[in-house]
Chains A and B, each alone.
Chain A
Amino acid sequence: MSPGGRIGPATLAAYLEHLERADRAGAVALARGLLAEGCSVADVLVDLVAVAQREIGRRWLTGSWSVAQEHAATHVSELVVDALGTAVGAPRRGHVVVACVEGEWHALAARIVSEVVRAAGWRVTFLGASVPARHLVSYLHQTGPDAVLLSCVQPNRLVRAARMVEASRAAGVPVLAGGPGFGPEGRWATAIGAAAWGASARDAVRLLSGPLPAGTHTGPPPPPADDAYVAVLHRRRELVRLALAAVDVPEEAAEDVASGIAHLVDALIATARVDDDRLLLDFLGWQEEALTARGGRRLLDDVLAALERALAEHPRVAARLRNARAAVATG
């Protein structure tokens, strides 16, 4: 809640109603009105738009909203972020680059961070959703910013995030990580070489204004704790193929299942990278809901078993898979 309590449950409900009706003008007017009443850009974006976005995600997950409704509502919030961005003055601090990890298309949270950081006086370049590591590197060498803010929502994208962190460090730019993809309280952020992790846009401003926590934040990243990581990473496509061949799915569901398996293999690789089984278990807990409709636990167990067989020569990785199977079996 913002100081003065202007953004309370009633305001949130009104805003969500605008989103539900995809009412752009109404949503923008509500946000502008809050600014006029004395709320800061950060207050409106963090306490209203970001909170509403979590609610949208919940409604989509529980099936009360369709994908189209979710997209339309998100789009309205993006327009609100746009409208508020123009209210920010000239930059008086350094330059930061905000990017979503490659493959991540949910850019609203990163855009909110961009605007809140901009409102705090920084020059901000938002590179957009799903930024290829190559583009990021070329941009960093061209502009030499003070920091990269990297957003990652899903932990199975952590391997790609690690590649982007590595690229930024190699270009001499420290990375601040943000988003639930870096684990509970961001516990996996430093394992892949990020300087620090923030849970919200306000954290990002706080981290940028103080010196970064001790440690070296550029140069080669910390090595993976599990040396099977590289081997598994190289066999990624082969593993997806093997696991897909081991399950029996109707043709029309094959594509969905294949992409689910690819995500699972990515999560496994990320687990080896950060050496924490919690990543795989959390991912499966979340995946299970999505997979229940298409064969559920049985299918998941078949996939895990196939991967375990294929990776028998890497005892630590195989053990992670055995663990995961046990967790899935007991629910």
Chain B
Amino acid sequence: MAGAALPADDRLARELLDGLAEAVVTIDPAGVVTLVNAMAAELLPELTPGVGLAGCRVPALAEAARDGADTFETEHHGRRLRGLRRELAGDRCAWYVRDVTEEQARTDALLAERSRTAFLARAGSRLGLSLHREQTLRTAVTLPVPYLADVAVVVHRPPPPAEDEPHWIRCADGESTPVTGVAGWRTAESVPGLVEALEGDLTEPSPWLDAELADLAEVLPAGFGRPGTVLISPMPSAGGPAGALILARRPDRAGFDQREIALAREFAGRAGAALAAAELYGEQTHLARVLQNSLLPPKLPHLDGVTLAGGYRAAGDSLRIGGDFYDLFPTPTGGLFALGDVCGKGVGAAVLTGRVRQSLQTLRLVEQRPRELIALLNRALLDAPGAAARAQFTTLLLGTLDRQPDGGLLVRVAGGGHPAPLVIRAGGGIDVVRVGGMPVGALTAARFAEAEVRLAPGDLLLAYTDGVTEARGGPTELAMFGDDRLRQALASGAGLPPAALVDRVLQLVDEWLDGQPHDDIAMLAVAAS
């Protein structure tokens, strides 16, 4: 046995015990301390031989002794102690107590660091989601609560055309959604450092220890009371300050330590960058949207005695503008319609589309006969500066609708190299209105043609662009939708109102495409009603 080799030498045993980094305390069967080593005397000076453990002045240990527990952990004389009980022979026992102060501090620091990293990672991914300013602001005030503060407020200056006045948005622990308001410069000035942060003069977060409720009452929830500590962080971005982040804690919560201030600065920086990106995107989309609105097909007007419907799908471009278009202008006897296809795709085609529509809108004031109007348009387009160099042309159908005494419509259509419109008779027959003509905007000597057709009540005229019939898809993914499928679809939909028929064709083409890319598609359906 290993134990048998030990010398029965008290002095050696004592030296070995005193040399340990752990405190050792032995207890006799009556619960009285019999022996303490040197470390025990240092960490637990209250324990000396003869002291009863259950009544000793180390509360956690006394409690463990009373409860018969095998471990305890406590804060004692500024040290973190962790104790473990072992049974010894003869009903005695020993407590081994370690000083874990440094170990605990390292663990706490690691956990705190981890939670900070997790917070920033979450902030980074959430702030990266939206490109919309309001939503980014909502995210920026929602994220720090409750982790960093009980209330988070972002004070920001909305971009023009809004008046240059500080606005605020707040998220408070206990409020379900962010609240917004206008602060005004006077309120902003009463908060130390806020104006500086908004102007970009303040570069570091500054804690404000003696905040007066009156100064912040406007942005704090009713009943919040006087805040404990307040931290104001600038939200810098590449394009200048994006705003200021105010973090407020209740009085019963500890103030911001250095690491938390650094974290707030880091967070405010990320939020500032996200806000600036959203602002930039907002400006760009505003511009794009203004253009888009002028280029998208119009909302069709109401014409007495005529039912109209349009259908439009732009080729894959998130602006949804392209080279196909339709338009409709009311006239005293009915209306004037146009449907066309500018060669090319995307924004380039859309710009020319805009020019064609603008020109038509003006020229129709001086000329209403379709064939003459199309010739005039041709001259106007060729006359535009740089028209020859662009060599872009447009296929077009231009027609007048005239109400007839019998409730029908007389349609006169002039053509410029465009697919022939179809008439779906109430009974299900389909007539092709052969128009002909040459594309517009290509040749000065272009010749245009005109055709005439009568629509009885229940008949429907459909003008469409080749995006419909040339859509490629189906079982082979390569076959065109084609004239036959279009006519079949129209024949089975005879008698439907224009809107329902246009939707039906769009749906069939969409199913045919089955998610494959397509060209611009436009349709205009007219019926006498």
Contact = CB atoms under 8 A, between A and B. Distances in A.
Interface of A: 22, 67-68, 71-72, 74-75, 78, 103, 105, 129-130, 134-135, 137-138, 140-144, 169-173, 211, 218-219, 237, 240-241, 244, 254-255, 258-259, 262
Given A68-B493, A144-B130, A218-B126, A237 B477 contact: yes
Interface of B: 125-126, 129-135, 139, 176, 281-282, 285, 289, 316, 318-320, 474-475, 477, 492-497, 499-501, 503-504, 506-507, 510-511, 514-515
11 contacts: A71-B500, A71-B501, A72-B495, A72-B496, A75-B496, A129-B503, A141-B285, A144-B133, A211-B176, A241-B475, A258-B475
B65 to A, nearest CB: 45
Contacts of B131: 141, 171
A144 B495 contact: no
A97 B139 CA distance: 19
- State the 3 A-B residue pairs at the shortest beta-carbon distance, nearest first: A144-B132, A172-B129, A258-B475
A75 B289 CA distance: 30
Nearest to A136: B318
Contacts, number: 92
The A contact surface, by secondary structure, is helix
Nearest to A105: B507
A135 B494 CA distance: 32
Contacts of A172: 126, 129-130, 132, 135, 139
Contacts of A103: 510-511, 515
B316 to A, nearest CB: 7
Nearest to A129: B503
A138 B285 CA distance: 9
A171 B130 contact: yes
A141 B278 CA distance: 9
B514 A141 contact: no
Nearest to A107: B503
Contacts of B475: 240-241, 244, 254-255, 258
Contact of A142 (B126, B132, B506): B132
A67 B496 CA distance: 10
A22 B289 CA distance: 38
Given A71-B493, A255-B475, A143 B132 contact: yes
Nearest to B289: A142
A105 B493 CA distance: 16
Contact of A171 (B129, B176, B499): B129
A254 B130 CA distance: 45
Contacts of A74: 500
Given A141-B281, A219-B125, A75 B132 contact: no
B500 A140 contact: no
A141 B500 contact: no
Contact of A134 (B130, B282, B318, B499): B318
A265 B279 CA distance: 43
Nearest to B288: A142
A103 B511 CA distance: 7
B515 to A, nearest CB: 8
A138 B176 CA distance: 28
A161 B459 CA distance: 38
Contacts of B515: 103
B129 A219 contact: yes
B126 A68 contact: no
A10 to B, nearest CB: 27
A259 B515 CA distance: 12
B527 to A, nearest CB: 12
Contacts of B503: 71, 105, 129
Contacts of A218: 126, 129
B459 to A, nearest CB: 15
B132 A170 contact: no
Contacts of B501: 71
Nearest to A170: B129
A197 B500 CA distance: 29
Nearest to A71: B500
Nearest to A106: B507
Most chain B CB within 10 A, of A142, A237, A262, is at A142
Nearest to B504: A71
A199 to B, nearest CB: 25
Given A142-B132, A144-B134, 11 more contacts: A103-B510, A103-B515, A105-B506, A105-B507, A135-B318, A138-B319, A142-B289, A144-B130, A170-B129, A172-B139, A259-B514
A22 B504 CA distance: 17
A68 B474 CA distance: 23
Contact of B497 (A67, A75, A140, A262): A75
Contact of B496 (A68, A78, A134, A240): A68
Contact of B499 (A75, A254, A255, A258): A75
A103 B285 CA distance: 27
A71 B309 CA distance: 15
Contacts of A262: 514
Nearest to A140: B132
A170 B131 CA distance: 10
A171 B135 CA distance: 9
A133 to B, nearest CB: 10
A211 B176 CA distance: 8
